[in-house]
Structure 1
């Protein structure tokens, strides 16, 4: 039971239906009990309140009659008699006044202005009129009415100050005028109005408002304005800069570019050249940086891209391709780009999505962005196909590529990256100006504190840099040797070591031979165990954490507990790079170590350990995806995505671990992660590859993979394209009862999504029974929430409530989001706008926390619809604009259409028919599905009818 006192007295039942409380005295009795907030009220006090000190004869019996009438409406257990008096049983936020105060407190505690403003707006939306409007003249309610009115005005003032910080001064200047007229002596309210007037260019009105306050205070109270508003008056007279409207900060550039750990040396001119070639006035849209491994192409590209971040409104994105195998297709590269740009969860909404290159081009067709494709030398042909498609379909799309060779596509500008500048003389000043020397000295000083270039070592440093051809990677590898050798000793050693013909490798260019020789020398200086760890690290496609290094690099010849110390030594020697909690090999070092791994005859064994480690990691994280660690688990799997893909490739190609069924185990463990992240295309292709591998997986595991694939195909194919024979149990033969029930739910919900409600509901009901029998609270919750929309409303709401409670119990935020959506729809059916809005806001918070962007858009559009229903055009516009922004960023076309329709309806509510028509025509132009177009056309037709009338 819920009660409304912020307006005329109202009562709603558990399903949101209004309950009529007959007879004025019974309503007054209820109001009196609510005024006391669930506390006991003596009978004589109630009699005095209800009959204003003039009770009828037999007043005790009359009161009991009124109590009985109230109990018949609310239920006998709602109004109880205690020694201290009568009491109304209340729970939680069952009274809108309590909810109002809770929202206000949450708003004041929040730091983010936009969130504060939304919470204050939510609180004020609960008011339906003057508090306790039915009993406003009763003495017992006056104090509470005054308290609530004061709270409301304080919230209005709080909200006005927040809206001023958000730059909404023009709207405030118009809205606050009437309120100030009703409360002319509230100085804080008037101050907010004066600031809004001043910022809206109405300085004279702001000064007049102060003079009016001064006059009223003198006439009515014999007082003067307070110091705060007097100071504001003086500031307005002086037009102090601090009163100006806040300058809207430019939106932060969306990018995933890493922050370099060290400054880029010797490339300033090259950075400027790359920037100029991709600048606003240039016609170039594809620049390829070429050069030998270790020359610094990636560092140069990242530095140039960082400097251009403000030029590209839709972001600057680094897409690392080193982890993709040489057999990868253009679609594989497109999938990596889609994931990097954050379009992954919207791609899944398109049926029959097999052409990922085409979908990517369509998704970013109107975007202004720069994509940096890094380490493309092993994928030149495939990258060339993708680049040609993007350049043709995306007029404002720009590509920056790093590769050891050019792509050779039309429009490409090749920018060779040479080694760093070498010193031409041994004069210390001339040597210091060399960029190669500058890099070497900086890295040497970091490795051997106290080292500096001077007249005594300038010649030796110059010789070292010349001997290494100015190759940045070679300089970085040799600099740590100054811990044990002096510059002169190191120079002599390099001269002897790298003199022809020892270091020359047949067929390699001279500078490539130098780098190879440097790597050979660095390798030979390592101990046997250090070499073991280094070459085994090369199996990782995207670096690794320490636990992964221990699992993959250890073996019968090397204990796992020794790996951390050996890894630290390799970091000290600049052969391994540490970034936060991950360890990486530079591109050239990784290629060299892969050769050493093959030479040692360890390739198969290390790959098997790599596959086993990542299969076990995926299986361990799989269950955590359904619990309180869900968000962090998603982040951990995100970080390991490239390695997981490599593990699957190795397991599925009949090599590493194929006899142990790792491919099927891996896809079974990852399918729920792919589903949550919306990578349904990746899930479908991976499941198909694993099942086609014919590895040694157990029959039950293969059946589970087939069921997962069926559920995925139902979600990625057009209606009827993925048939499930009637009566078939897709999980039959799966040994684990928990997994069996979950698979029935997954396939059943897919069938329901295809419109095959009877078959789908049968499987979901079987899933519910199976989950309960197995004691799987998560599976029970998932089935209940799904069934909530397919049973009678009362039963459905009960299902949703229980499902929400179970999801809350296990800590699954995704599940809570789904349950909240069902409860919000039920509240909307009952006309409970406040509860609908609260539930959608809870869903919005969960979706944003998990990065589920289509769910974010859905929540925003539902909130916009709720605001429209309540007649709040400004709030609806803000919500639909947020939905449109997210949809555009994520290429979610369905969300864009819904947001444009919502903006059109909000504009119509404001009376701006021109804006309404503009938004609705945009919605119609963006509609690819008949249902979307029909919605836009219906809204346009209604707009025309209104205009005609």
Structure 2
């Protein structure tokens, strides 16, 4: 890098051909060991106007460079990372920054490349580092015979560099050439006046005076500083913990560093710690300024004072003097608690031998449009780091004695360093147990508890100072997002509420957590909820969810049409089923909390409508335990509104959810309540649906005759309502129940009739359900070839419509059929896949059945240990989803296993348990 760009590997020099290949290597080497995003690479290789083919061309160059590296013995050095590329190699430029070894230089840095933007800035930075190193080198060697000649050449190349001129003046004076020394000063003064309108700085002016007076001190070969060497760094924080990755990223001493992060994350602590670690590499001193209390003009004046400029000598344009004084120096300047990028700009040194370290709650992205900036984003501590911090302050024995309480304290503090330090400070001055403080945090407002008497820097005041800087729109959005009940929220939600998300992210009050989702730290969310008036914020938030789930329902199942809302173009998905389900999957953990928020806020209409519109999603995805509570809130809201039709519909939904969670008796009760309501209202369609659902409950209870009666009633009412799809659904359910009764021949005719209707009406989901029932019918008829075909078609359709519940069923049926055909290896593959889908759905009933069938498969493969593991797991899961017949079948298989192991007593026990369960089921 320190000359023409070259790569040397174990097998020799890499064959880099062309400017672009050398440029790719150069920019990746500038960030060696760190991923460089593709967009950053495009910017540096093509500038502000890249061709449309830039990304494709970049991939091509990378491929050729990768091959060249492999040829020279460095395979794997250039790796693909998410969104970019990374070069892992030893780089001479990085070695020079550590050692200041001038022999590493071979010419102009990054020779043979063509770079733009930050790449050119990096070339300038490397040049600056070289000249600073040369100055330091010759400052110690002024009495060498070649010193004057080398310094004169350097001054010609850098005619306004005061330190070089000063070194040349000293060397000339030592050589007895006093007039030449004074002439060198005059040349610089004239040049500065013509080009910058400035005079030489006080140090060089003092040297000029000393030469005029033939000061004996000038006979020393070591230059004497005539300016103040500031040492203003605050003391390090006690017990600094973690941040190893962030510290390592700064090993190369980039010229401008911005440390950003959420309030209380330890930005100042980190900056001061790192500044102390590298202070000896800045021999001209360290300046520290708190910009929360200073204007940029005041800050400039403070820096000048620190550099020895008297208060009465501060010029009208202090920025020019600042750049002059820092020119050719190695100063470390720390600006703490910066609010805006424009506050930093006047304080950027004129050359890059200095280092500017900035801390800010804002990312200060605008600073990067003016200068090359290295950003360090501090996140929360890890749990081990939080433990180490508390142990460092409180002592390892105390923390070890209450390890559980310590872990709980870290959680209550949200792994936020400031909160942890305040908690530790409270514990350090009182003898109580850590568990007592955890209990106090649990019972009281943590923002009140996390404070120390006599210290006004509390978690609340730190958050408040960040909140005060927000625009009114962002502050309102912050308060509303504080009410969002989920762990994260999508960007489209915040954008629909109003402007301000970018400002909140830049201020680190909101964090991006990936996949277009954002979150508030737990303590920040609590602060947001206490920060002022929301107006209609909660209602607007819930209305956005209603808009989104209404549009999703229109795609998934428009038959759920009790709720109508105006169309919206600002949606986070298109009318694609897969895309809709993916969006709702990302929101799945939030949906119940949103309905809880609606219920708690007294917004009854939003409560039941949200639950109703999510019906089609839960039909496709399951997770029925959450669905039970959703429907309970919806029933209560509809009942309070006096909306009998909505109440009946949500009772129906509650009944389905209860049935799917194996609470069949409760399901039957609420379905009959709903049936009474729809009959009273004369709702034929609703009545027919409820007959279907009641039939399903009877079927699950193995009350097959009652189930068939309900399905016949459903068909009659569906016909009266003119609902062909409803009639077909009742037929399908009737056929399904005939299969369960062991009467497959009676099932075939209604199932084929239902299949014809579903295909004609383009209802692939119910088509898949019917195909599975047909597969089961033919499986019972020992006609396995069509059974496999129907199950395979059902699996294909289920995956096309991303219905995971039917996908799990189809996989399980394929596995059972392959086992019956004598192919346990293929059966195990299908059943293993089925088990994974069931667990993702949280469907305990299906999970227990899949485990049982897997045990049967392992028995067929003579893997008795695996069979035992699956059976133990099946019975454990079955306890959470009771089904007497299924449990009896599992015990019967367990008896077979124990018999094959020669454990006859255990076999007899399982047979007895199976018999007891079968008998109990038949009686009931």
Give the TM-score of the pair, scaled to structure 2: 0.44
The structure showing larger relative contact order (alpha-carbon pairs under 8 Å, at least 6 residues apart) is: 1
* Larger-Rg structure: 2
